[in-house]
Amino acid sequence: MNWKNRFADRARLMQQSTVREFLKHAARPEIISLAGGLPDPELLPVEETRSAVDKALSNYGPQMLQYGLTEGIPELREFIADRFRKIGATAENVLITTGSQQALDLIGRVLINDGARIAVQNPTYLAALSAWRAYGAKFIPGGESSLTEANGMADPDLIYCIPSFNNPTGQSLDASERSTVLTYALRTGTPLLEDDPYGDLRYDQSPKPPSFLEVAGNLNTPIVHVGTISKVVAPGFRVGWVVAGRELIAKLTIAKQSLDLHTSTFTQFAVFELLTTGFVDVALPRLRAAYAAKRDTLLSALEVNMPASITWSRPAGGFFLLLRLPPDVLGSDIASRAREAGVLVVPGAEFHVRNGENTLRLCFSSVSSSRIPAGITRLRRAVSDSCS
Amino acid sequence: MNWKNRFADRARLMQQSTVREFLKHAARPEIISLAGGLPDPELLPVEETRSAVDKALSNYGPQMLQYGLTEGIPELREFIADRFRKIGATAENVLITTGSQQALDLIGRVLINDGARIAVQNPTYLAALSAWRAYGAKFIPGGESSLTEANGMADPDLIYCIPSFNNPTGQSLDASERSTVLTYALRTGTPLLEDDPYGDLRYDQSPKPPSFLEVAGNLNTPIVHVGTISKVVAPGFRVGWVVAGRELIAKLTIAKQSLDLHTSTFTQFAVFELLTTGFVDVALPRLRAAYAAKRDTLLSALEVNMPASITWSRPAGGFFLLLRLPPDVLGSDIASRAREAGVLVVPGAEFHVRNGENTLRLCFSSVSSSRIPAGITRLRRAVSDSCS
Q: What is the pLDDT of residues A1-43, one digit of tens each?
A: 788 888 998 888 888 777 777 777 777 889 999 998 999 999 9
How far apart (Å, rounded) are the C-alpha atoms in residues A58 and A270? 11
Task: For residue B17, give the chain A residue with the closest CA.
Answer: A254
A7 three-class SS: coil
Q: Is A3 in contact with B46 (Cβ distance < 8 A)? A: no
B118 touches chain A (CB under 8 A): no
Instruction: Indicate the SS3 state at residue A170.
Output: coil
| Pairing between β-strand B138-141 and β-strand B117-120 as defined by DSSP bridges | parallel
From B36, B1, B14, B347, select the one nearest A250 (Cα to Cα).
B14
How far is the C-alpha of A28 from the C-alpha of A25, rounded, in Å?
A: 6
Asked if residue A45 has a cis previous peptide bond (ω within 30° of 0), the answer is: no
Angle at A57 between CA A53 and CA A59, to 5 degrees: 115
- Beta bridge pairs of residue B321: B362
**Residue A302 C-alpha, separation from nearest chain B C-alpha, in angstroms:** 27
Min CA distance, A348 vs chain B (Å)? Answer: 18
For the stretch A171-226, pLDDT in tens is 999 999 999 999 999 999 999 999 999 999 999 988 999 999 999 999 999 999 99
Q: How far is CA B34 from the centre of its chain?
A: 16
> Dihedral, CA atoms, B94, B95, B97, B100, nearest 10 degrees?
-50
Rounded to whole angstroms, the Cα distance separating A251 from A107 reads: 10
- The reported pLDDT for the residue numbered B151 is 54
Contact criterion met (CB below 8 Å) for B334 and B325: yes
Question: Which spans in chain B are helix H?
Answer: 18-23, 46-60, 74-82, 99-111, 126-133, 175-188, 212-216, 246-260, 265-276, 279-305, 331-341, 372-383
Lay out the sheet containing B359-363: strands in order across.
B311-312, B320-324, B359-363, B346-347
Residues of chain A neighbouring B101 (CB-CB closer than 8 A): 258-261
How far apart are alpha carbons A102 and A240 in whole angstroms? 8
Angle between helices B46-60 and B265-276 (to 10 degrees): 110
B127 and chain A in contact, CB less than 8 A: yes
A44·B50 Cβ contact <8 A = no
Cβ-based contacts under 8 A for chains A and B: 248
Enumerate the β-bridge partners of residue B225: B194, B243
> Which A residues, 129 through 148, put their C-beta within 8 Å of a C-beta on chain B?
130-131, 134-135
* Inter-chain residue contact B235 with A66, CB threshold 8 Å: yes
Give yes or no for residue A78 having a pLDDT over 70.
yes
As a whole number of Å, the end-to-end CA separation of chain B is 52
Q: What is the separation, in whole angstroms, between the first and last Cα of chain A?
A: 52
Binary contact (A234, B66; C-beta < 8 A): yes
A40 vs A319: CA distance, rounded Å: 10
Contact: A127, B68; criterion CB under 8 Å: no
Q: How far apart are CA A179 and CA A92, in angstroms?
A: 27
**Kind and range of the H or E run holding B186:** helix B175-188
Can you tell me the distance from the alpha carbon of B174 to that of B176, in angstroms, rounded to the nearest whole number? 6
DSSP state of B173: -
Is B238 close to A261, i.e. CB distance below 8 A?
yes
- Is the distance from CB of A240 to CB of A100 less than 8 angstroms? yes
Rama region for B313: left / alpha / beta (φ>0; ψ in -120 to 50; rest):
beta
* 3-state SS class at B168: coil
A2 at B interface, C-beta within 8 A: yes
Contacts of A101 in chain B (CB under 8 A): 258-261
**B143 touches B323 (CB < 8 A):** no
What's the CA gap between B171 and B114, in Å, rounded? Answer: 30
Put simply, the answer to whether B236 touches A1 (Cβ < 8 Å) is no
Beta strand A223-228 with A240-243 is: antiparallel
Contacts of A355 (CB under 8 A, 6+ apart): A122
- B182 Cβ neighbours under 8 A, 6+ residues apart: B192, B212, B215, B216, B223
Q: With residue B5 as reference, give the H or E element that holds it.
A: none
DSSP H or E stretch at residue B336: helix B331-341
Which segments of chain A does DSSP mark as H helices, in order? 18-23, 46-60, 74-82, 99-111, 126-133, 175-188, 212-216, 246-260, 265-276, 279-305, 331-341, 372-383
User: Do the beta carbons of residue B110 and residue A9 sit within 8 Å?
Assistant: no
Q: Where are the beta strands (DSSP E) in B23-166?
A: 32-33, 94-97, 117-120, 138-141, 158-161
Strand order in the sheet with A192-195: A94-97, A240-243, A223-228, A192-195, A158-161, A117-120, A138-141
- The answer to whether residue A148 scores a pLDDT higher than 90 is no
User: From the CA of B279, how many Å to the nearest CA of chain A?
Assistant: 15
Q: What is the helix (H) or strand (E) element at residue A232, kind and residue range?
A: none
Angle between helices A331-341 and A372-383 (to 10 degrees): 120
Does the beta-carbon distance from A235 to B189 stay under 8 Å?
no
A225 and A213 Cβ atoms separated by less than 8 Å = yes
pLDDT digits (tens, 9 = 90+) for A306-319: 999 999 999 999 99
User: What's the maximum distance between 2 C-alpha atoms anywhere in chain A?
Assistant: 63
Cβ of residue A34 closer than 8 Å to a chain B Cβ: no
Return the SS3 of A199: coil
Burial class (CB in 10 A: 0-12, 13-18, 19+), B113: middle
> Following CA atoms A18, A23, A29, A33 in sequence, which dihedral angle do they give, to the nearest 10 degrees?
100
- Residue B19 has a pLDDT of 73
In chain A, count H helices and then E strands: 12, 13
Distance from CA of B371 to the nearest CA of A (A): 20
Q: What is the mean pLDDT of residues A253-259?
A: 96
Q: How far is A185 from chain B (nearest CA, A)?
A: 11
Mutate to test the interface with A, among B5, B53, B67 (most CBs of A within 10 A): B67
Contacts of B41 (CB under 8 A, 6+ apart): A62, A63, A66, B366
Chain A residues lying within 8 Å of B7, measured CB to CB: 110-111, 251
What is the three-class DSSP state of B45?
coil
Backbone φ, ψ for residue A138 (5° rounding):
-110, 155
Contact B235 A67 (CB under 8 A): yes
Q: Please indicate if any CB of chain A lies within 8 Å of the CB of B16.
A: yes
- Judge whether A213 and A163 are in contact, CB under 8 Å: no
Which of A3, A159, A263 is the best residue to mutate to test the B interface, defined by the most B CB atoms within 10 Å of its own CB? Answer: A3
A window 48-87, beta carbon within 8 A of B = 49-50, 53-54, 57, 61-68
Q: By C-alpha distance, which of B236, B233, B229, B369 is closest to B290? A: B369
pLDDT of residue A147 exceeding 80, the answer is no
Chain B positions touching A42 (Cβ under 8 A) are 62
Report the side by side order of strands in the sheet with B138-141.
Answer: B94-97, B240-243, B223-228, B192-195, B158-161, B117-120, B138-141
Count of CB atoms within 10 A of residue A42's CB? 10
Average pLDDT by stretches of 10, chain B with 388 residues: 86 80 77 93 97 98 96 98 97 98 97 94 95 93 65 80 96 93 92 97 93 96 97 97 97 96 98 96 96 98 97 97 97 96 96 96 96 98 90
Within B246-325, where are the H helices? Answer: 246-260, 265-276, 279-305
- The tally of CA atoms less than 13 A away on the side-chain side of residue A306 is 17
- pLDDT (tens digit per residue) in A92-136: 999 999 999 999 999 999 999 999 999 999 999 999 999 999 999
Q: Taking a contact as any Cβ pair under 8 Å apart, which residues of chain A between 225 and 244 contact chain B?
A: 230, 234-238
Q: Which residues pair with A312 in a beta bridge?
A: A323
Residue of A15, A65, A135 lying closest to B236 (CB–CB): A65
Domains, chain B, with CATH or none: 3-45+281-383 (3.90.1150.10), 66-279 (3.40.640.10)
What 3-state class would DSSP assign to B360?
strand
Say if the Cβ atoms of A1 and B221 lie within 8 Å: yes
**What mean pLDDT, rounded, does chain A reach?**
94
Residue of chain A with shortest Cα separation from B70? A20
Split at pLDDT 50, 70, 90, the class of A150 is very low
Give residue A3's pLDDT: 85
Distance (Å) of CA A143 to CA A162, A186, A266, B165? 12, 21, 41, 56
B46 close contact with A: CB closer than 8 A: yes
Mean pLDDT of A325-335: 96
Q: How far does Cα B47 stand from its chain's mean position?
A: 26
- Give the model confidence (pLDDT) of A346-367 as tens digits: 999 999 999 999 999 999 999 9
Distance CA B358, CA B310 (A): 10
* CA dihedral sign of residues A31, A32, A33, A34: negative
Q: Which residue of B has its CA nearest to A125?
A: B258
Which residues contact residue B168 at a Cβ distance below 8 angstroms, ignoring those fewer than 6 apart? Answer: B123, B125, B126, B320, B321, B322, B346, B348, B351, B359, B361
